[in-house]
Structure 1
Amino acid sequence: MHSRRTVLTTAAAAAAACAAGAGPAHAAGLPAGSRAPSPPTAATRAKLRRLISRMTPEEKVGQLFVMRVFGHSATDPDPADVASNQKELGVANAAELIAKYHVGGIIYFGWAHNTRDPHQIADLSNGIQKAATAQRVPVPLLISTDQEHGIVARIGAPATLFPGAMALGASGSREDAGKAARIAGEELFAMGIRQDYAPDADVNVNAANPVIGVRSFGADPQAVARMVAAEVKGYQAGGVAACAKHFPGHGDTDTDSHVGLPYIHHTAEEWERLDAPPFTAAIAAGIDSIMTAHIVVPAFDPSEDPATLSRPILTGILRERLGYDGVVVTDSLGMEGVRVKYGDARVPVLALKAGVDQLLNPPDLAVAHGAVLKALQDGELTERELDVKLLRILLLKEKRGLFADPYTTHAAVDRVVGTRSHLTTADRIADRTTTLLRNEGGVLPLSRRRERSVLVVGADAAAPSGTGGPPTKVLATALTELGFTATALPTGMTPTQAQIDEAVAALGERDAVVVATYNVTAASSQRQLVSALLDTGKPVVQLAVRNPYDIAQLAGVKAGLASYSWTDVELRAAARVIAGRTKPGGKLPVPVMRADAPTTALYPMGHGLTY
């Protein structure tokens, strides 16, 4: 069903979205990426090489690491965060982390209390950069985060939140993907973040994939490639380094690399056809960085080392075959997939030998830093090799304007983050993503005259920090604002019989029910909930709020939709479709296979009804 891979050329214009510097643009309140970059000059390279020559081996090794740190402030976090930092890192705060280890980057997480609100994030970024200037050899830090949107978003409202990758894949609009990425990049830039670990370039060809799923644009390699290229250009036009992940492709696995070591059993030809196109497109679009995957691909490395530690994959394929010379960053080194075969002291050394430049978030920084330094002292790694990696990293920092001006301001945040224009754009983009899979008997749209009173039940997935929710409440509120009388009754992802009975009783005199489902399996009690609601004879509208495959397990449903996420922006769009305020515009970017015949499509890619 997949077409033969086309050759993607590396046109010079592909990198037109990258930034050369942030000084004057920042002063004007614009992201550095609003100007086309110039290739680094010989003078720039010479300047950065002189900077590298001033570093001690300890400082050079430190620059290779991108680390987590707890706290909302670089110097004065809450006592609980100080305790967490002391326990995990042996320092009290971000400033001490930089002074002790000379790290080259810091990654923000909501659970680490880095992302309370945009002003706080900007202040934390400024504090980190101020600490960087206090080093013996001042080098600005590359601050990063995972802001994929959809189900992976570290920064919540009032920042603008967009539909995730599979929802955008359902719209099929490269323009929307690029616009969403550019706005997201501009907002991250305003908060002092210059690298986003997005977009996801995996092709999700396995419905059982537990870790990628809706983080992928879909199952068609060429369609995914087009969307990836659009987002790469968008993020980098917004001023931040994009990062395509997870090389060489995490889309066909049923193991989560956070907790195990997945195997990808594609042949070399299958990889060329299925996995390679999005990464080739990202490189052609001028991607600043690429993230590795903790997966085994025996076709490329019979040693069965994970790709993060595989020289045949990272150097042989990514560097030499695909011609990529940008920054390569590992996925988190705290994930089980990269720790299964080797100890924490060997992993960072092997990653660097394989072709990695940046080491992301090892579980024990003291062990990892010491191991790399020892490998350097023992000659397993050479200083020349480290200098090549450092030059790539510093060139990226130069490109993203960090040497010109690493700071931001509250005024810049207020001009850019969560503006009315951005929020309106997010809603309009979301309106083109909701997919109507089934509508037997014209159940949808609901009518305010015929189904005025609506019950909303189902799964209340934990939304990313600050992204809103819970889903039943968001849907009920949105439907009420659209003229219905809607009530939320969360029943969870594993409803008990008591909860099912409560939902049936609550439906009572109400006219219709919307049930939010979440990754329904053959053994899921969500099936019993839906069946019991159908038995009432009332109109039942099923909305899949994560993977779109649920309807295959729900044969009796007459009206089924997919929103591809439970975040507010997508749920509000689904509510508008349910209410008939907008028409469903999404088309399945993955096939939905029959539950009783998994090799047969119930709904093929491209399926999507409308009113």
Structure 2
Amino acid sequence: MFESLKKAPFNLDDTALAWVRQQYDSMDLQQRLGQLFNLLVMDESDEQLAVIRHLQPGGITRSVGRELQPEINYMQELLAAFDCPPLVSADVEGGQMSFAFGSSIPNQLALAALNDTEVTGRCASIQARESRALGINWTFTPVVDLNRNFRSAIVGTRSYGSDQQTVIQMGRANIRGFQHNGMAATAKHWPGDGYDDRDQHLVTSVNPLIVEDWHQQFGTLYRSMIEEGVMSIMSAHIALPEYMKLHTDDPEQWWRPASINRLLNQQLLREELGFNGLIVSDASVMAGLSGWADRATIIAELIENGCDMVLFCREPVEDMAYLMAAVRRGDVSEQRIQEAVLRVLGMKAALGLHRTPPKTDITVFAQKADMSGVYARCPTLVKDRTEFLPVSAERHPRVLVFSPGIQHVMLEQPIPLQLPDQLREEGFEVTLFTPGMDVQTRDYDWVLYLLAEESSLLRSHIYIDWFRLHGGFMPAMTRYWVDIPTVMVSFGHPYFLYDAPRIPTYINAYCATAEMQVAVLSGLLGRESFNRFNPVDPFCGSEQGRY
């Protein structure tokens, strides 16, 4: 097993390998098992630090706060709590997940709309440098799911779209951008998401492809990520029943999620596709896994069935005890423990943590990268049937705006968009709709819908809630575009034409960052030309939305 660390993707030299061996040999069983856990750090409490000092996990995932200096200070405390330098991970996906004090980076679907691998790689490089400055050395990106089901609320804007070659090219550029800047990348979600419209946070979802089609689509895709040298792959709570049917007659096992599925992790991913890096589970607290078995069984099966690291725990001390008990019962083999621990240590060495442990550096944030030129190219004009655009304050001064604001499951209340105020600054008379308002189209020159909901966890579906948007039962059935020019902009979910197929002018802008709102304003006013490339099918497979 030690010798395998000399091969891709870790490519360890003799010095790094010696460090791995020394670390492994110096650890007792408790310390080795600690390396197999990645704990989520959400707060900045002394209790959280105490758990880390006690358990000495192999990694942590930091939910980065909004203020730089407090974040730097607490990260320094966290890093000082470790005896062996940790893997420090985050979902560095851009869009709403960009660091509040860092450079604003478009999300993956916005970058796919550019269809420009150089820009994708440059964005990943910027994200890597800023992440490393915070002490983060491992990103759970790229998302390499194929966005083949428009009803999915979890894939959408997090993916590089629906075209396999675009996903491959952008995914490889993302990996290069991160890993050439000293940060491990992660291809997810194994064995491939995007056909089921359900969310693994809530249910075990299914990849329905027959084996031949799976190999042509996701098999080809993951082979390409492996060839690029991706250091880790996230095994998700997704079943691949058609593959399982070839290997077992037990119909219950056909629906076993990949995260606890030896056939999918060991046989398909490692033996058939040749992956030699670290397999990390998706969050082990998700219902797509927790609904399968009790916690003690899940913890044992995650490791025994091929994952090298357990992602997130509700009760870390309890989960560690479950794994220890499983090892002593023989439910988790010594071989699997050794393989998993060595891969965790191997990735640490591949990142140079044996030479330079993670550290923080506030100076990187002295000047944010100017991404305005990138954002200007992102918004896609899907259709403008009446050729209403561009607008002007002289010809169309009075605009009625419908907008529920920026919505996200982590936000207690929606955040107002800036675009209405920007229109006012351009000389428009902007009226924001409020429930109960008596709307008379003769009082306005045009209507603007602003929707802002990126793909999000814990949402079964994203759709236009006309009752809420228009403020009532009868208003929900009113469509203003038959009487007055109407524009709809989605700063997120790209499939709202399914709910509003007759909207005459529709724009996909993919994420609601301030820079994207400026880019949309420039397009509306004709200062910049809109992009016309669609990384997904915004018409949702129906001709209806074109007219």
Q: TM-score w.r.t. structure 1 length?
A: 0.79
Instruction: Work out which of the residue numbers 227, 233, 243 in structure 1 matches 2:186.
Output: 243
Equivalent position of 1:4 in the other structure: none
Deviations 1:315-354 (A, max 9, x none): 1111111111111111100100011121111112111112
Equivalent position of 2:249 in the other structure: none
Paired with 2:261 and 2:515, the residues of 1 have a C-alpha distance of 40
Instruction: Work out which of the residue numbers 404, 420, 427 in structure 2 matches 1:459.
Output: 404
User: Structure 1's 384 and 191: CA in aligned 2 closer, same or farther, altered over 3 A?
Assistant: same
Equivalent position of 1:185 in the other structure: 128
Paired with 2:527 and 2:408, the residues of 1 have a C-alpha distance of 25
Map 1:44-443; keep pairs closer than 5 Å: 44-72=16-44, 77=45, 92-94=47-49, 96-109=50-63, 114-132=64-82, 138-151=83-96, 153=97, 156-302=99-245, 303=253, 304-409=255-360, 412-414=361-363, 416-417=364-365, 419-420=367-368, 422=369, 424=370, 426-443=371-388
- 1:191 to partner: Cα distance: 0.9
Equivalent position of 2:498 in the other structure: 552
Paired with 2:421 and 2:359, the residues of 1 have a C-alpha distance of 36
Equivalent position of 1:448 in the other structure: 393
Q: What SS does the corresponding residue of 1:441 show, helix, strand or coil? A: coil
User: Structure 1's 530 and 229: CA in aligned 2 closer, same or farther, altered over 3 A?
Assistant: farther
Query: Is the 8 Å Cα contact of residues 493 and 510 (structure 2) preserved in structure 1?
Result: yes
User: Structure 1's 578 and 523: CA in aligned 2 closer, same or farther, altered over 3 A?
Assistant: closer
Query: Is the 8 Å Cα contact of residues 33 and 341 (structure 2) preserved in structure 1?
Result: no
Amino acid at match of 1:179: R
Query: Is the 8 Å Cα contact of residues 20 and 345 (structure 2) preserved in structure 1?
Result: yes
Q: What SS does the corresponding residue of 1:107 show, helix, strand or coil? A: strand
Amino acid at match of 2:528: T
Equivalent position of 2:423 in the other structure: 479
Q: What SS does the corresponding residue of 2:81 show, helix, strand or coil? A: helix
Amino acid at match of 2:365: V
Paired with 2:408 and 2:203, the residues of 1 have a C-alpha distance of 24
User: Structure 1's 553 and 434: CA in aligned 2 closer, same or farther, altered over 3 A?
Assistant: same
User: Structure 1's 456 and 402: CA in aligned 2 closer, same or farther, altered over 3 A?
Assistant: farther
User: Structure 1's 377 and 405: CA in aligned 2 closer, same or farther, altered over 3 A?
Assistant: same
User: Structure 1's 117 and 521: CA in aligned 2 closer, same or farther, altered over 3 A?
Assistant: closer
User: Structure 1's 142 and 487: CA in aligned 2 closer, same or farther, altered over 3 A?
Assistant: farther
Instruction: Work out which of the residue numbers 447, 451, 456 in structure 2 matches 1:513.
Output: 447
Percent identity of equivalent pairs: 25
Amino acid at match of 1:122: I
User: Structure 1's 603 and 417: CA in aligned 2 closer, same or farther, altered over 3 A?
Assistant: farther
Deviations 1:529-570 (A, max 9, x none): 6944325x4432111222222123324322111112233332
Amino acid at match of 1:417: F
Query: Is the 8 Å Cα contact of residues 156 and 464 (structure 1) preserved in structure 2?
Result: no
Query: Is the 8 Å Cα contact of residues 211 and 256 (structure 1) preserved in structure 2?
Result: yes
Equivalent position of 1:21 in the other structure: none
Q: What SS does the corresponding residue of 1:417 show, helix, strand or coil? A: helix
Query: Is the 8 Å Cα contact of residues 480 and 486 (structure 1) preserved in structure 2?
Result: yes
Query: Is the 8 Å Cα contact of residues 469 and 567 (structure 1) preserved in structure 2?
Result: no
Q: What SS does the corresponding residue of 1:121 show, helix, strand or coil? A: helix
Query: Is the 8 Å Cα contact of residues 222 and 277 (structure 1) preserved in structure 2?
Result: no
Most deviating of 43-52 and 164-173 = 43-52
User: Structure 1's 141 and 217: CA in aligned 2 closer, same or farther, altered over 3 A?
Assistant: same
Paired with 1:199 and 1:570, the residues of 2 have a C-alpha distance of 21
Query: Is the 8 Å Cα contact of residues 125 and 143 (structure 1) preserved in structure 2?
Result: no
User: Structure 1's 599 and 276: CA in aligned 2 closer, same or farther, altered over 3 A?
Assistant: farther
Most deviating of 327-336 and 264-273 = 264-273
Paired with 2:432 and 2:366, the residues of 1 have a C-alpha distance of 30
Query: Is the 8 Å Cα contact of residues 513 and 540 (structure 1) preserved in structure 2?
Result: yes
- 1:102 to partner: Cα distance: 1.4
Query: Is the 8 Å Cα contact of residues 469 and 566 (structure 1) preserved in structure 2?
Result: no
Query: Is the 8 Å Cα contact of residues 497 and 545 (structure 2) preserved in structure 1?
Result: no
- 1:418 to partner: Cα distance: 6.8
Query: Is the 8 Å Cα contact of residues 178 and 185 (structure 2) preserved in structure 1?
Result: yes
**Over the residues paired in the alignment, what is the CA RMSD in angstroms?**
2.7
Q: What SS does the corresponding residue of 2:283 show, helix, strand or coil? A: coil
Q: What SS does the corresponding residue of 1:299 show, helix, strand or coil? A: helix
Paired with 2:28 and 2:107, the residues of 1 have a C-alpha distance of 43
User: Gaps spanning 5+ residues in structure 1: where?
Assistant: 1-14, 19-37, 83-91, 133-137, 492-497, 605-611
Instruction: Work out which of the residue numbers 501, 508, 528 in structure 2 matches 1:562.
Output: 508
Query: Is the 8 Å Cα contact of residues 223 and 273 (structure 2) preserved in structure 1?
Result: yes
Amino acid at match of 1:231: N
- 1:309 to partner: Cα distance: 0.6
Equivalent position of 1:578 in the other structure: 524
Query: Is the 8 Å Cα contact of residues 592 and 601 (structure 1) preserved in structure 2?
Result: no
Paired with 2:295 and 2:414, the residues of 1 have a C-alpha distance of 38
Paired with 2:518 and 2:263, the residues of 1 have a C-alpha distance of 46
Paired with 1:568 and 1:387, the residues of 2 have a C-alpha distance of 47
- 1:108 to partner: Cα distance: 1.4
- 1:245 to partner: Cα distance: 0.8
Deviations 1:173-221 (A, max 9, x none): 1111111111011111111111111111100101111211111111111
Equivalent position of 2:459 in the other structure: none
Paired with 2:409 and 2:291, the residues of 1 have a C-alpha distance of 28
Q: What SS does the corresponding residue of 1:438 show, helix, strand or coil? A: strand
Query: Is the 8 Å Cα contact of residues 592 and 603 (structure 1) preserved in structure 2?
Result: no
Equivalent position of 1:12 in the other structure: none
User: Structure 1's 274 and 521: CA in aligned 2 closer, same or farther, altered over 3 A?
Assistant: farther
User: Structure 1's 548 and 380: CA in aligned 2 closer, same or farther, altered over 3 A?
Assistant: same
Matched, 1:533 2:480: yes
User: Structure 1's 593 and 439: CA in aligned 2 closer, same or farther, altered over 3 A?
Assistant: closer
Query: Is the 8 Å Cα contact of residues 108 and 157 (structure 2) preserved in structure 1?
Result: yes
User: Gaps spanning 5+ residues in structure 2: where?
Assistant: 1-7, 246-252, 454-461
Q: What SS does the corresponding residue of 2:381 show, helix, strand or coil? A: strand
Amino acid at match of 1:512: W
User: Structure 1's 461 and 453: CA in aligned 2 closer, same or farther, altered over 3 A?
Assistant: same
Paired with 1:583 and 1:437, the residues of 2 have a C-alpha distance of 13
Paired with 2:227 and 2:409, the residues of 1 have a C-alpha distance of 32
